[in-house]
Amino acid sequence: MHFTSESSTDGVTQRHFTLDGVPGVLWQPDGLPLGGRPLVLLGHGGGQHKLGSVDRARRCVRERGFAAVALDAPGHGERPRSAQDERFATEIGELIAAGRPISAWVARHTAALAERAVPEWVAVLDALEEWAEGLGPVGYWGLSLGSVIGIPLAAAEPRVAAAVFGLAGHASQVEAAGRVGVPVEFLLQWDDELVPREGALALFGALGSREKTLHANAGGHLEVPELELESSERFLARHLGRVG
Amino acid sequence: MHFTSESSTDGVTQRHFTLDGVPGVLWQPDGLPLGGRPLVLLGHGGGQHKLGSVDRARRCVRERGFAAVALDAPGHGERPRSAQDERFATEIGELIAAGRPISAWVARHTAALAERAVPEWVAVLDALEEWAEGLGPVGYWGLSLGSVIGIPLAAAEPRVAAAVFGLAGHASQVEAAGRVGVPVEFLLQWDDELVPREGALALFGALGSREKTLHANAGGHLEVPELELESSERFLARHLGRVG
């Protein structure tokens, strides 16, 4: 893990890093150790990038005393696009222009991204754990593409203790969901134009977690109410505990 | 409206009343007027009664400065059971003993209760409005039977400005739900043994409200998490405003 820059604003230290070519950002309280502190993994949505999570990350640090980390997903942010990524960007534009359904197409492409992204998150957790000489409880927060990646990550990675997912729901995600056992809050948009409602309900239903809660609101994919986003942060905070 | 008793505990005045034979309870802050104050109508579940709502009512008064009112539903609490109520109690016991499904049966009986209960709530609102010389914003809170009654009430009664419903979902409730236009928080139990999941989702979907939110949790009919109940009270409070 190679730290490339460090800055501080209003009590929050922000460090950019790369690990095996994957660029990321780590946020933590100024002058306080990462070790033992609750850590929130922030997964971004499709077409977005690691710094799209900066407001949520800063709230985690300032309001909770947590640390937070975000990565650019494969083909996103500062990362080069593979030939596959380029093909996807071209073809999805053509599908949308033709008015054809895109959800199966998106699911197939994002499943391929997730296969690349999950080991990247595991490697970042390993590196941070070594650097900090031990991590506190880890939570995952990610909607849409952030859930397509986060669900198999939470299924595979025992360090993840609680998660916020949502705005996703394709049959290809169901098997991994069944292997998630930690508490989950799942956000669903009732009128989601990108994710079929039945698929999202089935994905929530498939989660193996004993403790799981679904919050569904009227509106489209990009219209999750601000109150729900705040609620989801409180959900994670309840499960990751207090810093004190 | 005939007040039959009055007592006060910890700043909350509790008054029992009857109106045309319907027994109810009114809670409000000691020594402060009802007029202009937000008022929460509390509908109880099947087999329960008006005083089952006392903790929620007292929280509305003590934490929010609201008033609250609860009625015994037809055939419940202090009210006599009709021959129809008696028949229902006998027959549902037989169905359960025989291991047969009861949801359609329950829906039919509770729909009949709602036809009697809705005009009773309207009459109580009329009487309180006259007694208080004007009401503040009115909210409705009721799950299960409380929703079977509350949904047609909110559809018919323009004084209801926001509502919490849930643990219900039968085709017979869908038409009234479409006429509800106020903000709704709807609680669903994912493993509800009394309410089919598809029916509850369809009922939420049918609500005509532009602003509506579904909170679904793992567990059975009687296992709504305490945090959701608290969240639902905050939801109502947000929509009924602050007492200043």
Q: pLDDT tens across B162-171, in order?
A: 999 999 999 9
Element (H, E) at B3: strand B2-9
Whether residue B49 is predicted with pLDDT greater than 80 in this model: the reply is: yes
Residue B33 pLDDT:
94
Residue B238 pLDDT:
96
What is the number of structural domains in chain B?
1
Residue A244 pLDDT:
56
Share of residues in chain A with pLDDT > 90 (%): 85
Share of residues in chain A with pLDDT > 70 (%): 100
User: Nearest CA to B213 among B244, B238, B191, B193?
Assistant: B238
- Average pLDDT of the residues in B135-144: 97
Sign, CA torsion A222/A227/A230/A234: negative
Lowest mean pLDDT among A30-39, B22-31, B94-103, B154-163: B94-103
Element (H, E) at B25: strand B22-29
Q: pLDDT tens across A53-83, in order?
A: 999 999 999 999 999 999 999 999 999 988 8
Per the CB < 8 A criterion, the answer to whether A121 and A151 are in contact is no
Query: What residues make up the domain containing A156?
Result: 2-240
User: Nearest CA to B227 among B215, B239, B238?
Assistant: B215
Question: At A168, is the secondary structure helix, strand, or coil?
Answer: coil
Whether residue A12 is predicted with pLDDT greater than 80 in this model: the reply is: yes
Residue B182 pLDDT:
98
The total number of residues shown for chain B amounts to 244
Which residue of B197, B217, B226, B238 to mutate against A (max A Cβ within 10 Å)? B217
Residue B232 pLDDT:
96
From CA A109, how far away is CA A102, in angstroms rounded? 11
Per the CB < 8 A criterion, the answer to whether B99 and B54 are in contact is no
Q: What is the CATH number of the domain that holds A26?
A: 3.40.50.1820
Q: How far is B167 from chain A (nearest CA, A)?
A: 14
Which residues of chain A neighbour B201 with C-beta distances below 8 Å?
201
The total number of residues shown for chain A amounts to 244
Q: Which residues pair with B26 in a beta bridge?
A: B15, B69
Q: Calculate Rg over the CA atoms of chain A.
A: 17
Query: Does the beta-carbon distance from A228 to B214 stay under 8 Å?
Result: no
Q: How far is B187 from chain A (nearest CA, A)?
A: 9
Q: What is the DSSP string of B30-63?
A: TT--STTS-EEEEEPPTT--GGGGHHHHHHHHHH
Q: Which of residues 178-217 of B touch A (CB under 8 A)?
A: 188, 190, 201, 204-205, 209-217
Q: Is B3 on the interface with A (CB under 8 A)?
A: no
Residue A105 pLDDT:
84
Residue B104 pLDDT:
82
Element (H, E) at A232: helix A226-240
Share of residues in chain B with pLDDT > 70 (%): 100
Lowest mean pLDDT among A144-148, B88-92, B154-158: B88-92
Residue B68 pLDDT:
98
Query: Does the beta-carbon distance from A204 to B216 stay under 8 Å?
Result: yes
User: Nearest CA to A104 among A121, A88, A120, A119?
Assistant: A88
A42 versus B103: which is more confidently predicted? A42
Which residues of chain A neighbour B190 with C-beta distances below 8 Å?
204-205, 212, 214
Mean pLDDT of chain A: 94
Q: Out of B188, B201, B210, whose CB is closest to A218? A: B210
Residue A157 pLDDT:
97
Query: Does the beta-carbon distance from B213 to A218 stay under 8 Å?
Result: yes
Residue A103 pLDDT:
80
Complex ipTM: 0.83
User: Which residues touch A58 (CB under 8 Å, ≥6 apart)?
Assistant: A10, A12, A27
Whether residue A141 is predicted with pLDDT greater than 70 in this model: the reply is: yes
Residue B244 pLDDT:
56
Query: Does the beta-carbon distance from A214 to B217 stay under 8 Å?
Result: yes
Q: Any idea which residue has 């996703």 for tokens?
A: A168
- pTM, 2 dp: 0.90
From CA B192, how far away is CA B199, in angstroms rounded? 11
